[in-house]
Amino acid sequence: MSTAISDPIAAAVATVAAPGESNGIVHGLSTAEFEILSAKCLDARKAAYCPYSLFRVGASILLHPSSSTNPSPSSSPKIITGANVENASYPVGTCAERVAMGTAVMQGHRIGSFKAIGVATDMEAFCSPCGMCRQFLREFCELEIPIFMFNKRGEYKVMTLGELLPMSFGPDVLPPREVLKRERDEEEEGKGKIA
């Protein structure tokens, strides 16, 4: 771990110069993209509604420039954020990652629109998306998308969605509906001949 930096955003930006990263590129993100992804993610925690657990989580999703409504080379990276929202009936709460992705989907973004995801908590340790969020993200993201997990100081660990959700089940593995219907009809027809 690096030395403690009191400003979490400065800590996240300081990690840009980490060994193994070159030319201002951090796991496929430009320095500007990384800076805004980390800043928005860390900042989103402040919006968390968590009166029961007091466990704040912020999430940020970086859109590919081509998926923005008005992309231009000089425009700043487009980010969608979310924070966890709890409920007195605990299972009804929603995680930050699903809030952010749901917002993105409501804005018309789909698979191929997303470049990176950030998740931040108030913990010292790095906290990955929960299993439900991993599956939810899988519906809309490629397995190669990097997920940056920020601790409370802004330090990060990054893994791909595929690493976090091995042997995943997504829309690409489902046979077309027509194939499923034909197979079901053939199976039912075969049962009728046996009886």
- Per residue in 149-189, pLDDT (tens digit) is 999 999 999 999 999 999 999 988 888 999 999 999 999 88
Q: Which residues are annotated as a binding site for Zn(2+)?
A: 95, 130, 133
- Angstrom distance (rounded) from CA 93 to CA 53: 11
Catalytic entry in 97, 142, 144, 187? 97
State if pTM tops 0.85.
no
Residue 33 appears among annotated catalytic residues: no
Least confident stretch, 23-27, 39-43, 82-86: 23-27
Q: Among all chains, which residue has been given the structure tokens 């990955």?
A: 128
How confident is the model over 56-67, as a mean pLDDT?
Answer: 93
Q: Among all chains, which residue has been given the structure tokens 């950030």?
A: 118
What domains does the chain contain, in order, with CATH numbers?
25-166 (3.40.140.10)
- Angstrom distance (rounded) from CA 10 to CA 24: 16
Which amino acid is residue 151, in one-letter code? N
Q: Which residues are annotated as a binding site for substrate?
A: 84-90
Render pLDDT for 115-151 as a digit per residue (tens, 0 to 9). Answer: 999 999 999 999 999 999 999 999 999 999 999 999 9
- Angstrom distance (rounded) from CA 65 to CA 112: 11
* Cβ contact 62:117 at 8 Å: yes
- Angstrom distance (rounded) from CA 98 to CA 94: 7
